Chain A
Amino acid sequence: MSDLRLAGQGKGRRLRALLTNPQYLMVYATIGIFLMIYLFGALLYGNKGFTSVRTFMLFFSDNAYIGISAVGMTLVLITGGIDLSVAAVASLTGMIIAFGTSVLGLHPLVCIGIALVVGVGLGALMGACIQYLNVPPFITTLTGMFFARGVTSLISRESISIKHEMIDALAGFKIYLMWPNAQGEWVKIKPVASIDLNTIAFVVMIIIGAIILQKTRFGRNVYAIGGNEQSANLMGLPVARTKVLVYSFNGLCSVLAGISYALYVKSGWNLSLNGSELDVISACVIGGVMLSGGVGYMFGTLFGVLLKATIPAIITFNGSMNSWWAKIFTSALLLLFIIIQRAVIASSQRTKKKAGQG
């Protein structure tokens, strides 16, 4: 109905419709609260450099591994599933790279290849288990998490540092942000800010995820399954294939997140990223993805990750507050967001009812 009305009308109308569409309300709420918290930080710690481009770029590069993993997680959550194995698989990836390069002397690309096979394979296996054996996603991926963590510990219990020129080159890759000075020469901005490989990977993955979700048949199938799996099945959509693919894609994202984290810390450790799967899930939820499935946007997830990054940053800038306050604030934020979600669902249901009566 609303699409019909939109057709053939001006761009202004379309923009307004885009802004008032209740589907996007959660994403707007995320962006709004992100801006509010950022402004709050800017007012308090603007003079300490909170507003500098450098700080802003650090939000991306310090949280790239969470963001990359959140791309896959968004797809999984939209199908109505959940994946608890992401952090363990990322940790396993880091360990494979570290052990392979430093102990076995393999080339990093070989290690990454092995990690990709393991990660995507485990994802596909879990997807198949969920689809064909009807085991709940929570239990299946929990077992996957135990397995990946255990294997990581079997490889090594000690932290192994990664020493290889290729990894160093990749981790050291930076594009410095430049601006013209008074003489018209291009110089590095101060404080020095740069875009590193992790930031690029994060942004590229978000864009790829958004294209998959919005522009492909596969993406539409993902939404359809999350909306109502039975209907999707009756419509003849390839439910089984889509679900297995979604979990495999998430496995791929976990491996990429693991590579990103390995570049970030340059080591592999069996206890690294412990509990990070919940950081990833909560970033998605804060970004407006609903765990009941069917609702979520990649753009929202991007801001969910940024919003989650802002809180520890403010606490670090404060200096006198203990790090555990970050946990408390993050949980308060989560509470706020799920209550907003609840209100949005309730109001949209009311409108639907009204439309049904009218």
Chain B
Amino acid sequence: MKKSVMQSAFLRSKLFWAIVAQLLILLVGFILRPDFLSIQLRTLSDGTTVLYGTPIDILNRASEITIIAMGMTLVIALGGTDISVGALVAVSGAIALKFLRWDVLVYNTPGDYTVQPFILVLLLPLLACTLMGLFNGMLIGKLKLQPIIATLILMVGGRGIAQIVTNGKQFTTQYSPFKFIGNGSILGIPLPIIITLLVILLVSLFVRRTSYGMFVESVGINPSASRVSGLRSDTIIIIAYVLTGFLSGISGLIYSSRISSNDSNNAGLGYEMDAILAVVIGGTSMTGGKFSLFGTVIGSLIIRTITTLVLYFGIVSEAIMAFKALIIAVVIVLQSEPVRNAIAKRRDRKRLLMGGEARV
């Protein structure tokens, strides 16, 4: 009877409902348009072959949010939130474009060049975002400030910083290695997907192969008990925010590479909300504790699939939010404690009536 116990537990888990939701949304897409799930190889004009199709597009476009959401999962598991990530995406892009174009008066046409070494173009935005993550982490870990308010500072100030970096200007670039980050592909797979897979792999390894993941859950479930048992909760908190900052930097590079430009006002706009939603839909509780990186990936894909599906049917892009809200509301209501318990209880009752064993 152990199987039924496990079944019941799985039915109670939020992750189960997230996977069901994702499959249902894909099914709706497939019914409405049979080519929704098709993947094909396509040869581009420059001779390279790339994978092409809606599923690939969903994976590709979900990368920015998925990458940030990996860090956000740890932050939320610690009982916090980071609403500065969208602004950090803007900072990252602004710094990258600043180093690519440097002085627009001298280099006044965007072309296939970089003014500063390419390695700086990649490393400095990441460094800046990591430092801003450290700032968030210090405020929350050391000064014990409330995460929402502590990260609100950089959410408001970050876009200001991004504008100062580029003096309020929007630069464009045609530098091909930079454009490759967001638009290129290796062996037919778009590079953002590869970067995302790498990030997922590395974060999972870091969390599950070291004791860090366990520490995060411990601090998230009971901060004071963890402190009493000798965990350095402030260091654990700082690491999570630093990681989120760094990952926002990567996401910012992908975003600005996709549009070959920086956009201090709109880059990463609303990413914090999408990333938090991805984590919550994936089954990690906002109150902290146990987390699931795999669940977060599913959550991120759900959000992107809804967007793609709605776009696919020609509904105006701004109105996507209404559909997103409705579907997310359904997922959240299904996942909420009272509803999940009610469903599991009903199954138990059925099993009892049929002479089976109830859930232990």
Least CB separation from B315: chain A residue: A154
CA distance A274 to B227 in the complex (A): 40
Q: A41 CA to B326 CA in the complex, in Å?
A: 47
- B156–A138 touching, CB < 8 Å: no
- The SS class assigned to the B binding surface is helix
B337 engages A134 (CB within 8 Å): yes
Q: Are B156 and A134 in contact (CB under 8 A)?
A: no
A157: interface (CB < 8 Å): yes
Chain B residues with CB under 8 Å of A292's CB are 146
Q: Is A338's beta carbon under 8 Å from chain B?
A: yes
Interface membership of B21, Cβ < 8 A: no
A149 partner residues in chain B, CB cutoff 8 A:
318, 321-322
Q: Interface with B: A172-180, A230-238, A257-265, A319-327, which one?
A: A319-327
Q: How far is the CB of B157 from chain A (nearest CB, A)?
A: 3
Residues from chain A with Cβ under 8 Å of B146 in the complex: 291-292, 338
Which residues from A are CB-within-8-Å of B144?
342
Interfacial chain B residues near A281, Cβ < 8 Å: 152
Check if A142 sits within 8 Å of B157, measured CB to CB: no
The smallest C-beta distance from A165 to any residue of chain B, in angstroms, reads 31
Please indicate the chain A residues that have their CB under 8 angstroms from the CB of B161 in the complex: 328
CB distance from B312 to the nearest CB of A (A): 17
A335 to B157 Cα, complex, angstroms? 10
B164 proximal to A (CB < 8 A): yes
Contact at A132–B319, with CB atoms within 8 Å? Answer: no
| Docked-complex contact A133 and B325, CB < 8 angstroms | no
**CB closest residue in chain B, given A150:** B322
Chain A residues with Cβ below 8 Å from B319 are 150, 153-154
B153 within 8 A of A: yes
For A337, give the chain B residue with the smallest CB separation: B149
In the complex the two chains form, is A331's CB within 8 Å of B153's CB? yes
A126-155 interface with B by 8 A CB criterion:
129, 132-136, 138-140, 142-147, 149-151, 153-154
Check A328–B157 contact: CB distance below 8 A.
Answer: yes
Tell me, yes or no, whether A114 is within 8 Å of chain B by CB: no
- Closest CB of chain A to B140's CB: distance in Å? 11
Question: Cβ of B339 < 8 Å from any Cβ of A?
Answer: yes
Q: Is the CB of B325 within 8 A of A342?
A: no
User: Which residues on the B side are within 8 Å of A143 (C-beta)?
Assistant: 325, 328-329, 332
B336 at the interface (CB under 8 A from A): yes
Q: Output the nearest chain B residue to A132 by Cβ-Cβ distance.
A: B338
Query: How distant is the Cα of A282 from the Cα of B148 in the complex, in angstroms?
Result: 11
- Decide if B78 is an interface residue (CB 8 Å cutoff): no
- Decide if B164 touches A291 in the complex (CB within 8 Å): no
Contact present for B316 and A327 (CB under 8 Å): no
A 82-112 contacts with B by CB, 8 A: 82, 84
- Using Cβ atoms and an 8 Å threshold, which residues of chain A touch B338? 132-134
Indicate if the CB atoms of A153 and B318 lie closer than 8 Å: yes
**Given A133-B339, A327-B156, A330-B156, A147–B318 Cβ distance below 8 Å?**
no
Could you tell me the distance between the alpha carbons of A134 and B156 in the complex, rounded to whole angstroms? Answer: 29
Q: Is A221 an interface residue (CB 8 A)?
A: no
- Closest beta carbon of chain B to A282's beta carbon, Å: 6
Chain A: which residue is nearest B331 at the CB level?
A: A143
Which residues on B sit within 8 Å (CB–CB) of A338? 145-146, 149-150, 153
Give min CB distance, A272 to chain B, whole Å.
Answer: 12
In the assembled complex, the Cα of A82 lies from the Cα of B286 at a distance in Å of: 13
CB < 8 Å neighbour of B159 from A129, A147, A154, A327: A327
Complex: how many Å from CA A292 to CA B161? 29
B163 within 8 A of A: yes
Does A332 make an interface contact (CB < 8 A)?
Answer: yes
Q: How many residues of B contact A (CB 8 A)?
A: 45
Q: How far is the CA of A41 from the CA of B253 in the complex (A)?
A: 40
In the complex, which residues of chain A have a beta carbon less than 8 angstroms from the beta carbon of B337?
133-134
Whether A147 lies near B157 (C-beta < 8 A) is no
B103 nearest CB across to chain A (Å): 19
Bound complex: CA of A82 vs CA of B319, how far in Å? 24
In angstroms, how far is the closest chain B Cβ from the Cβ of A311?
11
Whole-angstrom CA separation of A38 from B139 in the bound complex? 28
The chain A residue with its CB closest to the CB of B146 is A291
Q: Is the CB of A324 within 8 A of B159?
A: yes
A334 touches B160 (CB 8 A): no
CB-CB < 8 A to B155: which residues of A? Answer: 278
Which residue of B157, B168, B325 has the most chain A CB atoms within 10 A of its CB atom? B325
Note all chain B residues with C-beta closer than 8 A to A325.
Answer: 160
Q: B316 contacts which chain A residues (CB < 8 A)?
A: 153-154, 157
Q: Return the contact of A278 from the options B156, B164, B277, B336 (Cβ within 8 A).
A: B156
CB distance from B149 to the nearest CB of A (A): 5
Identify the interface centre among A142, A150, A270, A282: most chain B CB within 10 Å of its CB.
Answer: A150
Assuming the contacts A133-B339, A324-B163, asked whether A147 and B321 have C-beta atoms less than 8 A apart, the reply is yes
Check B321–A332 contact: CB distance below 8 A. no
Cα-based distance from A140 to B277 in the complex (angstroms) = 10
Closest residue of B by beta carbon distance from A327? B160
**Residues of B contacting A322 in the complex (Cβ-Cβ under 8 angstroms):** 163, 168
Contacts of A328 in B (CB 8 A): 157, 160-161, 164
Complex Cα distance, B322 from A322, in Å, reads 35
Q: Is B332 a contact partner of A135 (Cβ separation < 8 A)?
A: yes
**Contacting residues, chain B, for A35 (C-beta < 8 A):** none
Interface status of B235 (Cβ within 8 A of chain A): no
Cβ–Cβ contact B152 & A324, under 8 A: no
Q: Which of A145, A147, A334 contacts B156 (CB 8 A)?
A: A334
* Nearest chain B residue, comparing its CB with the CB of A292: B146
A266 CB to nearest chain B CB (Å): 22
Select the residue from B280, B287, B319 with max chain A CB neighbours within 10 A: B319
Q: How far, in Å, is B345 (CB) from chain A's closest CB? A: 16
Give 25 pairs: A residue, B residue, CB < 8 Å, sorted on A.
A82-B148, A134-B336, A135-B336, A136-B287, A138-B276, A139-B276, A139-B277, A139-B280, A142-B276, A143-B325, A147-B325, A149-B318, A149-B322, A150-B320, A150-B321, A153-B316, A153-B319, A278-B156, A291-B146, A291-B149, A328-B160, A331-B153, A331-B157, A338-B146, A338-B153
Inter-chain pairs besides A133-B333, A154-B319, 4 sampled, C-beta below 8 Å? A136-B286, A143-B328, A145-B273, A146-B321
Taking beta carbons and an 8 Å cutoff, which residues of B are in contact with A?
81, 139, 143-146, 148-150, 152-157, 159-161, 163-164, 168, 273, 276-277, 280, 286-287, 316, 318-326, 328-329, 332-333, 336-339
In the A-B complex, list the 10 residue pairs whose CB atoms are closest, starting with the nearest.
A150-B322, A331-B157, A327-B160, A153-B318, A150-B321, A147-B325, A146-B325, A133-B336, A136-B286, A324-B163
